[in-house]
Structure 1
């Protein structure tokens, strides 16, 4: 999603990491968060506490193997 556009039109925002809600609140609460995962998302950083994988793992193949 485009972060700024999403925050400009949303009343409430939920951010997920590893399938869990790490922050739920107003756009202002999201912008004021000091959680490094939230900061990484807001700044569009590839490197940070949430790993960036390029190319992306082949999840389809992993699901078919399960």
Structure 2
């Protein structure tokens, strides 16, 4: 039951918001260049990964049986 909801939200975030992020990323590259934008994107990915590792509730999350 929850797996479908989580999958729907994940799909919306990854695919549904992409057309909105492309112009923002393009504008950021136009202002600062590719290097800083890639570094900022990598930092966001690293922070999200660290958050997932540091929050005990996320580490112990399991699907219902």
TM-score by length of 1: 0.23
The structure that is strand-richer by fraction is: 1
The structure with the largest alpha-carbon Rg is 2
Which structure is richer in relative contact order (CA contacts within 8 A, separation 6 or more)? 2
The structure that is helix-richer by fraction is: 2
